[in-house]
Structure 1
Amino acid sequence: MAPPEVGRENSSKRHVMMAGVMAGLFSRFVIAPLDVVKIRLQLQWQNVPIFDQNPANLRVGPTYRGMFHTMQTIVAHEGIPGLWKGNVPAEMLYMAYGAAQFLAYRETSLMISKLPYNVNNNVKSFVAGAVAGGAATLVTYPLDLLRTRFAAQGNERVYMSLYHSVQNIYQHEGVKGFYRGSGAGIAQIVPYMGIFFCTYEASKAYLSIPHLDHQLPAGWSEATAGGFAATVGKTCVFPLDLIRKRLQVQGPTRERYVHRNIPVYKGIRSAAASIFRTEGVRGLYKGLTVSLVKAAPLSAVTMWSFEESLKLLKWMEPETVD
């Protein structure tokens, strides 16, 4: 398979970082409502029967029954802005993550290309993607945690502002509080990004072959390949993503979110065992449908906007590779 013509390795570090920021900013705003819905579903521990009027049961929070019902419930009780809860830290997260991810991918790809022996393109894409995902997650994890906690808030405000959230977490949970669930985050993102970039590069190369009977319009190969790669990768690692969300809302504020009955977990194994025991295998895949509905367009928009931003930057300001 021919090397991908994405142009990351042939672009300057500054252009790659700027394009990553622009891609993160645009894609996050478009996909924000689905992200909030996914987080609410992932945090829902057990369903309370709709006919059960016992106050002790009703205090655990609303019961969500699927993607559309969750969205309707949020709008009904919290208004349309409720679908964009946590958008400020999330925008910061996506911008920083996009810059770190694409830069790390570029640098790792260049290092592999300079090895004294040939490396299969699929292996190269997997390794570069895994390194990029791990590095970007470590750099931006506190913002990911803040995004989750704001999205988990209902009408009761746990945190009044971004500044208050940082101050509160540091005061009551220490620096470690910003990295709750980071182990699950790394364990999830490394294989996910490896699978994603490997699948993306292979799909994009195939869709870009000139002699295909039905050539896709300009930009569609990136979007299609990105959506397909996200679907494959997300399905493979989803249980770890759910565990990460459950761990991120642990701590002294655990019972103040929309779902007030989230159990106490001591780590990845504890969370996985508890969820499997009390909620079954399906419990590990809560929110998978909306996650896939979100992941495909998010990755499609991200990869398309990144590629187009990179082309625009190179056209506006031609640079030599650094």
Structure 2
Amino acid sequence: MDKDGTLDISFDEWRDYLLFHPSANLHDIILYWRHATNLDVGEDLSVPDDFSLEEWLSGKWWRHLVAGGVAGMVSRTCTAPLDRLKVFLQVHGAKQFHSLSNCFKYMLQEGGVKSLWRGNGINVLKIAPESALKFAAYEQAKRMVLQFGGSKERELTIYERFVAGSFAGGFSQSVIYPLEVLKTRLALRKTGQYKSIADAAVKIYKMEGVKSFYRGYIPNILGIIPYAGIDLAIYETLKKSYMEQYSDGRNPSVLAIIACGAFSSSCGQVASYPLALVRTRLQAQVIAPGVVHNQPITMSGLFRHIIAKEGPTGLYRGITPNFMKVAPAVSISYVVYEKCRQMLGVSMT
């Protein structure tokens, strides 16, 4: 809109923008930033994207999804060392590693630089099926919510989006959860323990059975509710505040989009992190005959054990590298997303 680059929108620039915009509805124009949910902030997003009727008819919706998927793969690969560092601290806590640097040195000494990307392969592979399942479930849930509400021709409220998003996140996580367990085991593995993803799956199945692939499933599902609710509520609140402040119709800047998404996601992570930590510890436990555990093997037992041994701060082990990866993940994801959508011929509007 700011054609002359003065950072000031003149009447002529505002008029020309509205005259040549493909949509005549001001509400549609403001909603161009609904695709901010395509940005990968280093964690699985619980509320999928919304698309306009024009995007559905033109086929632009799948291009946005492809661009978002590629951006997620690149950003997660770039921040994989921080993700593995987080998993190590979540599982081993203070008993083995007293600081981030000690944990990082251990990983380098045990497997070299290449080991920093252990578990990233399956983390990237699961993006496509999880996104597809979540998207399909979200669209179905939206239709059900609108039908239950009595009117199909309206925008979903924040509460309805929360319900639909939580259902979609729960459904997709239920289907692809074994891949989550494999990701944790591969991230924690020692040199030579598994030859490949398939080898790890076979060995875990033979030694521990099918149930092992759903270790930590309950805290994982429970974590979707606070993460999705807080993330969505804060994002929508920030969005409304921005539009109220700039009620002259000015589009939100790229920085505003990224800041809203990163901040809301970080708040959601703080609320759900204890459940994520317990989930990871349960995923890491080997449940097999003859194996003795020094920690409880249930969710409630683990919560009590962590609080008793490490205090409330023990529930937030590893959150530092988790926050450290938000800024680079968002930045890398946005740059790659922009390049991909341009190559596929779609815009943010």
* Equivalent in the alignment of 2:173: 137
TM-score, L = length of structure 2: 0.71
Give the drift of 1:248.
0.2
Select which of 119, 131, 155 maps to 1:98.
Answer: 131
1:206 CA displacement = 4.3
AA partner of residue 277 (structure 1): A
Report what 2:161 is aligned to. 125
- The match for 2:87 is 39
Equivalent residue, structure 2, for 1:25: 73
Counterparts of residues 72-83 of structure 1 (less than 5 Å):
72-83=105-116
1:293 aligned to 2:328? no
SS at match of 1:315: coil
- For the residues of structure 1 that align with 2:271 and 2:83, how far apart are their CA atoms? 19
Distance 1:111 1:314 in 2: 32
Task: Report the count of equivalent residues.
Answer: 294
Amino acid at match of 2:119: G
- Opposite residue 84 of structure 1, the aligned amino acid is W
Deviation digits for residues 97-147 of structure 1 (CA, Å, limit 9, x no counterpart): 333334444443454455325777321332233223212211221111111
Cα gap change, 1:22 to 1:104, in 2 (>3 Å): farther
Task: Give the partner amino acid of 1:70.
Answer: C
CA distance in 1, matches of 2:336, 2:230: 20
SS at match of 2:325: helix
Q: Which residue is 1:228 aligned to?
A: 263
Answer yes or no: is the 8 Å Cα contact 2:142–2:164 preserved in 1.
Answer: yes
Aligned partners of 2:87 and 2:187 also within 8 Å: yes
CA contact (8 A) 2:228 2:268 kept: yes
CA distance in 2, matches of 1:277, 1:189: 26
Contact 2:108-2:115 within 8 A present in 1 as well: yes
TM-score by length of 1: 0.77
Residue type matched to 1:276 in 2? I
Tell me the distance in 1 between the aligned counterparts of 2:104 and 2:290: 22
Q: Which residue of 1 aligns with 2:121?
A: 88
Indicate if the aligned counterparts of 1:227 and 1:297 stay in contact, CA closer than 8 A.
Answer: no
Q: Distance in 2 between matches of 1:108 and 1:158?
A: 42
Q: Which one of 189, 204, 209 corresponds to residue 153 of structure 1? A: 189
**Contact 2:181-2:213 within 8 A present in 1 as well:** yes
Listed as ranges, the gaps of 5+ residues in structure 1 are 48-62, 317-322
Per-residue Cα deviation, 1:76-100 (whole angstroms, up to 9, x for no partner): 4322112111111111123333333
The aligned counterpart of 1:320 is none
Distance 1:309 1:107 in 2: 27
Q: 2:301 aligns with which of 254, 257, 270?
A: 270
DSSP-derived class of the 1:284 partner: helix
Q: Is the 8 A contact 1:104 1:131 kept in 2?
A: yes
**Change over 3 Å in CA distance of 1:104–1:314 after alignment to 2:** farther
Kindly provide the CA deviation profile for residues 200-251 of structure 1, in whole angstroms up to 9, marking residues without a partner as x: 34434544678389x8985333321221011100101111110001100112
Match for 1:234: what amino acid? Q
What CA deviation, in whole Å up to 9, does each residue of 1:279-303 have, x standing for no partner? 2212111112222223455466557
Larger radius of gyration, structure 1 or 2?
A: 2
Structure 2, unaligned runs of 5 or more = 1-26, 36-49
Distance 2:237 2:340 in 1: 21
Cα distance in 1 between the residues matched to 2:91 and 2:51: 39
The one-letter amino acid of 1:142's match is P
Given that residues 234 and 295 in structure 1 are in contact (C-alpha distance below 8 angstroms), is that contact kept between their aligned partners in structure 2? no
* Mapped contact 2:242–2:252 kept (Cα < 8 A): no
Please say if residues 129 and 195 of structure 1, whose CA atoms lie closer than 8 Å, have aligned partners that are also in contact: no
